[in-house]
Chain A
Amino acid sequence: MVTQGNRLGTITVVAGLLISTTAMADTLKVGVVGPMTGPLAVMGEQWRHGIETFMELNGDTAGDTTIEVVYRDTMGNPANAKQMAQELIVRERVQALVGFGISPSAAAAAPVINEVQIPTFLPHVASPALMEASPYFVRLGQNIATNAQVAAKWARENGMESAYVAVADYAPGHDVANAFKPAFESAGGTVTGSDNVPLSTVDFSPFAERIAEAQPDMVQLFIPPGAQAVSMVKALAARGMMEDTLIMGQGEAEDSDIHLFDGTIKGFHSAIYYSESLDNPENAAFVGGLQAKFGEDVLPSTFTLGAYDAMALIYAVAEEMGADFDGDAVMEKLSGYSWASPRGKITLDAESREPIQDFVIRRVEDVDGQLRNVVVDTIPQVHPISGS
């Protein structure tokens, strides 16, 4: 009898082991594809912050499914993006993708994604027309036209009569200009000047000079973050424009990037959907987790947030569907899906697969000797503006 019992016990243990091995084999591989090195490396680094923070806070299992993350570096090159996405899908057998630093990279990889129906989460790329490239794209950032329209409307409501538009001379810059101008003018304002700033620009003072001569009430900017944004703000400040003109941008002065600027950035406004200073429990957990893992002086950006929220969605789906990440079923589940993000309430618009979310107008101020983005206004639950 005793042996019998032992045997039974052994069988149970073995069976248990077997079951748990199958459970362990139930792994969902997530491929992260984007610029980890090269001129856009900041994006990849901040995604990693967001992803690792999420996994630190939520563990590496969603329900019974183990989540494993594999990174691939595109060095910011769209040609690599397609190849890396393919490699992740074919060799690593990933079932979801998080990625792409720039919209052309996402567009380049779209045919591969469509063929194998891999749900693909875009943390921040913002081209309005991009979503048409794949029915498996889910946008976690914004469509850049939305910011521009929010900015135009807010500026008119706050008494700005004339605006000068200065955008980087590439597709997203043109998207901003094309969305801002009609929105500002149809609200009764006048656009007094518009410049496309070449991407090769090193010295921005000629543009600051042109803008200052036009004496607008506000300037709508779109300048790539990093060196270019720093130089542009310095040039505007040298003409005294930060004090007497409303300077409005989007992602030029992300919380994570403010330390790149000197004190002249004070007064810079952004129309965007997140600020590190937002007061809600999800944001407290996000910022707290980020700083606990990567250091007190690390601040989140919309890149960090986008990757964090991408993981939140993947976990939410995996909890219900397990590792069987069928593309169409995932998209079906995410259509109209709503959750509490560090940015506040967010809903994936069923039509466009883009967020319906709050926008904030934030201003850089000196808070206890530190430059910080302070929220000066909130525009609740803005619907994405349709692309193209």
Chain B
Amino acid sequence: MASAASSLTFILLYGVSYGLVLFIISIGLVITMGLMRVMNLAHGAFAAIGGYIAVGVMTNFGIPFPLAVVAAVAGVVALSVVLERLVFVNLYGAPELDQVLMTIGINFIVIGGLTIFFGPNVYPINLPDYLTGNVDLGIRNFEIYRLFVIAMGLIVVVGLWIMFEKTSFGAKLRAAVDNPSMTRVIGINVNRVFIIAFGIGSGLAALGGAIGAGMLPLEPYYPMKYLVLVLVVVALSGFGNMRASLAVAVLVGIVDTAGRFLVPSLGGFIIYIVLVVLMVLRPEGLFTKRAA
């Protein structure tokens, strides 16, 4: 029988790695929701497209995994900026139901497109050898891939923190989230901030889709399949709150992993119980300052 310490570290490490993938995929939506108040339910489609690009260039052109990930992010950033100008720009200020219908529609178009070009089945990823296998961490063995995902997640967190807190773009972004009209008044081009933020958010989704493909297999239904998890993170984070969404994503990962490990038959919905409880207690988001 394995020791309690081994089980606990299992829950922590696997939960955190799962949570960090969710974070990378969701953070873009948290930011753009906060900025533009657009309910972009097609956000998961960017993650799926990112994953498909990465695996596509790996299998078809033999491009190494790190470069494939870069290609995926670059491709999705370009695509998303074009889409923002052509499609999403029409949604700013539109009623929420219109936004939901439109972006769900985009999801179905992407699902149909992926099915036509890549078939209805899983699109398999072959991770490079240096990411497969286990490494002995003293307490127990761990998959190298999971550790890699954790490392990437932490890099994204630090990168985003620097961008938000230390750059002038970050300051503009925070200003635009808090009060878009006042930000305009002082001469900041909020539309440009929108486009850049939208591109970054979609690029991060692509990054999550690509590096997470070993954990969340790519399939045409990806944009819908993981939508609920992404929305959980977004709903509990509050608008544009990165710190909260990191905490929520990791919490979701750990609770889900622990739930399935400890009480497998209930494991499927423990996370939703947590969601309901938190929504009742903190409807504005986990770390949002309460209005006076």
Show 28 A/B contacts (Cβ-Cβ < 8 Å), sorted by A. Answer: A37-B112, A37-B120, A42-B121, A45-B120, A195-B265, A196-B264, A196-B265, A198-B265, A198-B267, A201-B267, A202-B225, A202-B256, A205-B14, A206-B259, A206-B260, A206-B264, A207-B260, A207-B261, A209-B7, A210-B261, A226-B121, A227-B225, A230-B122, A230-B124, A234-B214, A240-B141, A262-B124, A262-B125
What is the number of residues of chain B that contact chain A, defined by CB distance less than 8 Å? 42
Besides A206-B264, A238-B143, 10 other A-B contacts (C-beta < 8 A): A196-B264, A198-B264, A202-B225, A206-B257, A207-B261, A226-B122, A227-B122, A231-B215, A240-B134, A257-B121
Q: Binary interface profile of B, 207-232, with partner A (CB < 8 Å = 1, else 0)?
A: 00000001111011100011001000
**Which has the most chain A C-beta neighbours within 10 Å: B14, B215, B264?**
B264
B257 engages A169 (CB within 8 Å): no
- Quick check: is A213 within 8 A (CB to CB) of the other chain? yes
How many angstroms between the C-alpha atoms of A260 and B143 in the bound complex?
20
How many angstroms between the C-alpha atoms of A12 and B225 in the bound complex?
65
- Quick check: is B18 within 8 A (CB to CB) of the other chain? yes
How many angstroms between the C-alpha atoms of A200 and B272 in the bound complex?
12
What is the number of residues of chain A that contact chain B, defined by CB distance less than 8 Å? 34
Report the minimum CB–CB distance from B75 to chain A (whole Å). Answer: 23
Report the minimum CB–CB distance from B141 to chain A (whole Å). Answer: 8
Residues of A within 8 A of B23 (CB): none
Report the minimum CB–CB distance from A199 to chain B (whole Å). Answer: 7
Interface residue from B221, B256, B264 paired with A210 (Cβ < 8 Å): B264
A166 and chain B: residue at smallest CB distance: B264
B14 engages A203 (CB within 8 Å): yes
A203 engages B217 (CB within 8 Å): no
Within 8 A of B (CB), among A14-70: 37, 39, 41-42, 45
- Partner-B contacts on A (CB < 8 A): 37, 39, 41-42, 45, 169, 195-203, 205-207, 209-210, 212-213, 226-227, 230-231, 234, 238, 240, 257, 259-262
Report the minimum CB–CB distance from B254 to chain A (whole Å). Answer: 11
B124 engages A260 (CB within 8 Å): yes
How many angstroms between the C-alpha atoms of A238 and B219 in the bound complex?
22
B1 and chain A: residue at smallest CB distance: A213
4 nearest A-B residue pairs (beta carbon): A198-B268, A41-B120, A206-B261, A206-B260
A42 engages B124 (CB within 8 Å): no
Report the minimum CB–CB distance from B169 to chain A (whole Å). Answer: 34
**Which has the most chain A C-beta neighbours within 10 Å: B127, B215, B216, B226?**
B215
Interface residue from B214, B216, B226, B264 paired with A195 (Cβ < 8 Å): B264
Report the minimum CB–CB distance from A375 to chain B (whole Å). Answer: 24
How many angstroms between the C-alpha atoms of A200 and B2 in the bound complex?
27
Residues of B within 8 A of A39 (CB): 221
- Partner-A contacts on B (CB < 8 A): 1-2, 7, 10-11, 14, 18, 112, 115, 119-122, 124-127, 132, 134, 141, 143, 214-217, 219-221, 225-226, 229, 256-261, 264-265, 267-269
How many angstroms between the C-alpha atoms of A227 and B51 in the bound complex?
14
Residues of A within 8 A of B217 (CB): 227, 230-231
How many angstroms between the C-alpha atoms of A195 and B256 in the bound complex?
16
A206 engages B121 (CB within 8 Å): no
Interface residue from B112, B115, B220, B257 paired with A203 (Cβ < 8 Å): B257
Residues of B within 8 A of A197 (CB): 264
How many angstroms between the C-alpha atoms of A206 and B7 in the bound complex?
10
**Which has the most chain A C-beta neighbours within 10 Å: B115, B134, B141, B217?**
B217
A261 engages B124 (CB within 8 Å): yes
How many angstroms between the C-alpha atoms of A202 and B219 in the bound complex?
13
Interface residue from A195, A205, A206, A213 paired with B2 (Cβ < 8 Å): A213
How many angstroms between the C-alpha atoms of A199 and B126 in the bound complex?
25
**Which has the most chain A C-beta neighbours within 10 Å: B11, B257, B268?**
B268
B264 engages A42 (CB within 8 Å): no
Residues of A within 8 A of B112 (CB): 37
**Which has the most chain A C-beta neighbours within 10 Å: B1, B215, B260?**
B260
B112 and chain A: residue at smallest CB distance: A37
Residues of B within 8 A of A260 (CB): 121-122, 124
A42 engages B120 (CB within 8 Å): yes
How many angstroms between the C-alpha atoms of A201 and B257 in the bound complex?
10
**Which has the most chain A C-beta neighbours within 10 Å: B122, B132, B258?**
B122
Residues of A within 8 A of B265 (CB): 169, 195-196, 198
Residues of B within 8 A of A203 (CB): 14, 18, 215, 256-257, 260
Residues of A within 8 A of B121 (CB): 42, 226, 257, 260
Residues of B within 8 A of A231 (CB): 215, 217
Report the minimum CB–CB distance from A36 to chain B (whole Å). Answer: 9
Known: A210-B264, A230-B217, A234-B214. A205 touches B257 (CB 8 A): yes
